[in-house]
Structure 1
């Protein structure tokens, strides 16, 4: 196998990388062979050098033409977390600001709701349920095609203001699409701009993510099509009022650029505040067996033989994405595929192991 060429020129004095790059290319090819999907891309950045592996064909250094935008689902949350960190770094908001006070000043709420901060919402420690209690009855009739589409933004806000948290804010971790969606609406209320406009201005534009969109088909198509287990196509995801938790769509090169911004050794200068990129990587919470796993403001953080790995996965009805990076070795992986097969699907496990144990 021919070793992929460098996209960026190696700094002066760096030893030849051909042998190591050939081994990384082999690992990407092996990983791709284990994943059965109509469309698959595994994108690797190591010390600024990029490699792209498609389901068919050998790895290549240049991004293949015609790469599509993939639905990130919950892997959109690191974008919202970085948006919050940027606004805090600029002094426009504080992590300890109370969400209800920003979202609906003076509106009567349960005391626990009144105590929920922006930090609680992004770190899944607000005590809110995964989804509002009245979400499921309206979603069930379209569960396999568009469960979020009938639950708009104003309904998410109303559900938050009348919520009864399951736990006191800040005491327990419970993954919540509801909470991160509320955060998006709160940021919009506090700044007078929509979440979409804020994310574009504060994150996408500073990082030069020209291939990232927040709505399907905009402005001129180019979106990947998800598939059911039987191979049938699925409609584009409509996130309704839950955009901040799952609406981002991006190309593989854009996802690598997003991850590379978190790697000091390879990050190009950007208008994004350095404090924001540092904040989203700082360990905040411990959980799991023996509290071995930590969480940052927005990333899962696991140990590995080559230093901590920060990652987030996401899935929609017919697509899956894994985003991860290892700061100690300036390594990042963005992988995506257009099929979601639940328990038997090796996609997440394969790519997580690739980054954590093999690359």
Structure 2
């Protein structure tokens, strides 16, 4: 793996010319593909929402009776896909000159603290190169009594930051990649501390309101507006997800239309206020694995297709799943959500990924 001391040395726009839209018959073919994808997921509620050059097509289905509020209008828990929102927030703060990304996270959280020669920076946290484990070492012991109902809620913000300040990475930050909910959670608290503003308000000010995402929330607010998750069996309801101190890593819940707006902004940054930040989060910042096959941007996974790069991120909570992705070469965005917990050999992510890869 190779990395840089800051996550984005410049702004690069690698949009390829989009392919022309097809004829009317393509609409019917798209709807058939969406219906087939939704059937394959086998969940109580499923929404596959596609945008092609700004033209949206949504397919709603599910094994459960339709809820009182239309499935496409409900807010869904997107779990780890929330990290794409946090990544865009950091990029926006950097583009506005409020941060550089190279700030030591420990100094942000504890201004009087001395840092060593190779501190964990904000950039390391968002790119999963901070040398942190997926979760704090004592997380499992605290979460176990509520493992099936509310594990993250038992680990509040102060424990997240304390665990980080006590942790000593085994590897020099920036040298190895390891996916970490812990790290992105710490980033959220560091941004709040250094700005004197809660992460929720920072996100609303710099991302949600500029993009017009009025159907996005950071916690359960209205039972009628929030989708209800289910266990692996697809029948047992689960409680609304409580992210505890891991808000920046997984607290976002949004409607399919808001998720499409978020993705469309990444496809056409010039039409949205944080344009420079939207371009920046598409820029590759590290490559890893055999032959550097795995490419990462700030908050997005980036895989090649025959026509150009595909960007994506998935997420899951105790009872819901989400997949977000976009392809600049085809002008296509996909937001897929379902209300069933992830299970062994689950088809949801593979189905959504395959759908976008074949666009």
Q: TM-score, normalised by structure 1?
A: 0.89
Aligned residue number for residue 242 of structure 1: 246
Q: CA deviation at 1:303?
A: 0.7
Q: Could you list the per-position Cα deviations for residues 291-347 of structure 1 after superposition, in whole angstroms to 9, with x for gaps in the alignment?
A: 222000110000112211100000001100000000111100000000124222100
Aligned residue number for residue 271 of structure 2: 269
Q: CA deviation at 1:121?
A: 0.3
Determine if contact 1:252/1:334 at 8 Å carries over to the other structure: yes
Q: Secondary structure at the match of 1:205?
A: helix
Determine if contact 1:129/1:166 at 8 Å carries over to the other structure: no
Determine if contact 1:293/1:303 at 8 Å carries over to the other structure: no
Q: Secondary structure at the match of 1:25?
A: helix
Pairing partner for 1:147 from 131, 140, 151: 151
Pairing partner for 2:170 from 149, 166, 171: 166
Q: Secondary structure at the match of 2:242?
A: coil
CA separation of 1:15 and 1:234: change in aligned 2, threshold 3 A: closer
Pairing partner for 1:229 from 227, 232, 250: 232
Determine if contact 2:218/2:252 at 8 Å carries over to the other structure: yes
Q: Could you list the per-position Cα deviations for residues 242-295 of structure 1 after superposition, in whole angstroms to 9, with x for gaps in the alignment?
A: 10000000000000000000012xx573222x2101110001111234322200
Aligned residue number for residue 195 of structure 2: 191
Which runs of 5 or more structure 1 residues have no equivalent in the other structure? 1-13, 58-62
Give the 5 Å matches for 1:33-112. Answer: 33-55=39-61, 67-107=73-113, 111=116
Which runs of 5 or more structure 2 residues have no equivalent in the other structure? 1-19, 64-68
Aligned residue number for residue 16 of structure 2: none
Give the 5 Å matches for 1:1-359. Answer: 17-55=23-61, 67-107=73-113, 111=116, 115-218=119-222, 221-230=224-233, 231-264=235-268, 269-272=271-274, 274-356=275-357, 358-359=358-359
CA separation of 1:16 and 1:242: change in aligned 2, threshold 3 A: closer
Q: Secondary structure at the match of 1:83?
A: helix
CA separation of 1:15 and 1:353: change in aligned 2, threshold 3 A: closer
Q: CA deviation at 1:65?
A: 7.1
Determine if contact 2:126/2:183 at 8 Å carries over to the other structure: yes
Determine if contact 2:316/2:342 at 8 Å carries over to the other structure: no
Determine if contact 1:263/1:330 at 8 Å carries over to the other structure: yes
**Structure 1: how far apart are the matches of 2:53 and 2:184?**
32
Paired residues, number: 334
Determine if contact 1:75/1:312 at 8 Å carries over to the other structure: yes
Q: Secondary structure at the match of 1:333?
A: strand
CA separation of 1:16 and 1:331: change in aligned 2, threshold 3 A: closer
Determine if contact 2:72/2:257 at 8 Å carries over to the other structure: no
**Structure 2: how far apart are the matches of 1:328 and 1:145?**
41
Q: CA deviation at 1:66?
A: 6.1
CA separation of 1:16 and 1:232: change in aligned 2, threshold 3 A: closer
**Structure 2: how far apart are the matches of 1:158 and 1:56?**
42
Determine if contact 2:43/2:62 at 8 Å carries over to the other structure: no
Q: TM-score, normalised by structure 2?
A: 0.89
**Structure 2: how far apart are the matches of 1:188 and 1:145?**
28
Root mean square deviation, CA, Å: 1.9
CA separation of 1:334 and 1:17: change in aligned 2, threshold 3 A: same
Q: CA deviation at 1:20?
A: 2.2
